[in-house]
Structure 1
Amino acid sequence: MNRLAAVVFDVDGTLVDSERDGHRVAFNAAFEEAGLPDHWDITTYGRLLRITGGARRLAVWFEQTGRSSEDARRLAERLHARKTAIMRDLIEDGQVRARPGVHRLLDELEAGGVPVHVATTGTRAWVEPLLDRVFGPRFQIVVTGTEVPDLKPSPAAYDEVLRQAGCPVEQTVAVEDSQNGVRAAVAAGLPCVAAYNDYTRDDDLSEAALVAHGLDDPILMAWFQRQI
């Protein structure tokens, strides 16, 4: 690879530890507020993460637990709106934090003059306040599932970032944590670095150019320093 032109980051599980103690907590609070018996423990939520998109995840769950497709869809839409509001509160309270090594990597990229962008399936209603609170104005282009409804493993979010940024594909790297994310990046033609977490450590990440155990993995940092 020639010198990096840009790096595009996923958010959930990549930039931030948001799934287990963020989204899962918000989903469960929404269930409780609605008077529903549903509850996602850590293991159950890990399985459900195979389904991208929170509203879709809810709809599949409700169908699997006995509701009709139409009832599941309507209930999922209503609860997802409330879950998003709860997630915003968790973010404001500082409950969602950057993964170890993220700020150092962003500092290295900034020092090297490499623009950083975001491509996520999350909705802008919580993604934007999270990025502002945890990272400040670091990211130039942020594409979310609100603007691009085709969720990963579709490459649509990455395609839109590339379109807006105008950066050459062969000099742009994606950073992901999951199989769906890696597949999306590769389908967009991007080399991808995978930094798995506890939920995704058993994912098939073989399509990634590099697989690391986190963004603080010395192997990952050394790889980026060579590209910068």
Structure 2
Amino acid sequence: MPDADLPAALIFDVDGTLAETEEAHRHAFNEAFAEAGLDWHWDQARYRRLLDVTGGKERIRFHQELAGLSVLDDPAIARLHARKTALYVAHVDGGRLGLRPGIARLINQARAAGIPLAIATTTSLANVESLLRATLGAGAPGWFAAIGAGDMVARKKPAPDIYRHVLDRLGVDPARSVAFEDSVNGLEAARAAGLPTLVTVSRYTDDQRFTGALAVLDHLGEPDQPCRALAGRAPAGGVVNLPALRDWLRG
């Protein structure tokens, strides 16, 4: 059983939090558009704006609305998004993405301490499982007591639904657990579910403001690669570990 003073559970977002995935997603979208004969191309500036909308199908729909288009109906959007997901998964399965600093270390520490792990994300379940297998090993999806992903809930972040979905399955006190996020939408979702939240900014969220986070860091840190605090206090030694999370929860 885990120490009662340690977090009751660790709940991770995926894109931008576990790994810097968004460029792989952007390229997969553009490949899918080209295959479908669409003259759409999302450059980095456009994609940064589109990331304000959570969910890939929702992002495609929003792009159409911005451009004043009605090229694709909902079934066509779903098919296009499914192809994009397949392209992304192939990219990940090829071993071309790695976890951000400190992620694997902290996950392994939590497992050793008996602390439940969970995922709460708006990305597709196939994307989550592919990333976990490619970076942590074939059995890694089974390490997580709950995986909330994709369309498992009606409303996506910043609504708290996906976090509440996961918390229901974990059966833990949200106030004693920690969520890990990289975006304002994710932070708002986690906090609305009652979860203290640690933010590690990512490539596409470095211009956002994270009011209410436990702290805002550049990453979780490694012994040879200490993290920096962008807001709040950095952990001792520049490494986020279970004692550091305990101390944040204590305030």
TM-score (norm 2): 0.84
Which ranges in structure 2 are unaligned for 5 or more consecutive residues? 222-226, 229-233, 247-251
User: Does the CA contact (< 8 Å) of 1:115 and 1:140 recur in 2?
Assistant: yes
User: Does the CA contact (< 8 Å) of 2:163 and 2:193 recur in 1?
Assistant: yes
Bigger mean CA deviation after superposition, 200-209 or 100-109? 100-109
SS at match of 2:25: helix
Query: Aligned runs of 1:99-110 on 2, under 5 Å?
Result: 99-110=100-111
How far apart in 2 are the matches of 1:57 and 1:121?
Answer: 12
Displacement of 1:224 in angstroms is 3.8
How far apart in 1 are the matches of 2:242 and 2:151?
Answer: 30
Distance change in 2, residues 1:222/1:31 (3 Å): closer
- Paired-residue identity, %: 40
Query: Aligned runs of 1:156-171 on 2, under 5 Å?
Result: 156-171=161-176
SS at match of 1:163: helix
Displacement of 1:14 in angstroms is 0.2
Deviations 1:58-116 (A, max 9, x none): 01102222313x84544422211110111111111112321122111212222332221
User: Does the CA contact (< 8 Å) of 2:6 and 2:242 recur in 1?
Assistant: no
How far apart in 2 are the matches of 1:74 and 1:62?
Answer: 14
User: Does the CA contact (< 8 Å) of 1:59 and 1:75 recur in 2?
Assistant: no
Deviations 1:2-47 (A, max 9, x none): 4211110000100011101x11010000011111111111221111
How far apart in 2 are the matches of 1:198 and 1:32?
Answer: 25
> Which residue in 2 is equivalent to 1:11?
14
TM-score (norm 1): 0.92
> Which residue in 1 is equivalent to 2:44?
42
Q: Which contiguous aligned blocks of 4+ residues in structure 1 show a shift greater than 6 angstroms?
A: none
How far apart in 1 are the matches of 2:175 and 2:134?
Answer: 31
Paired residue type of 2:243: Q
SS at match of 1:80: helix
How far apart in 2 are the matches of 1:95 and 1:207?
Answer: 34
Displacement of 1:117 in angstroms is 0.6
Query: Aligned runs of 1:17-166 on 2, under 5 Å?
Result: 17-20=20-23, 22-68=24-70, 71=72, 73-135=74-136, 136=140, 137-166=142-171
> Which residue in 2 is equivalent to 1:226?
244
SS at match of 2:143: coil
Distance change in 2, residues 1:134/1:73 (3 Å): same
Bigger mean CA deviation after superposition, 187-196 or 108-117? 108-117
User: Does the CA contact (< 8 Å) of 1:185 and 1:191 recur in 2?
Assistant: yes
RMSD: 1.9
How far apart in 1 are the matches of 2:157 and 2:83?
Answer: 23
User: Does the CA contact (< 8 Å) of 2:20 and 2:203 recur in 1?
Assistant: no
Which ranges in structure 1 are unaligned for 5 or more consecutive residues? none
User: Does the CA contact (< 8 Å) of 1:63 and 1:72 recur in 2?
Assistant: no
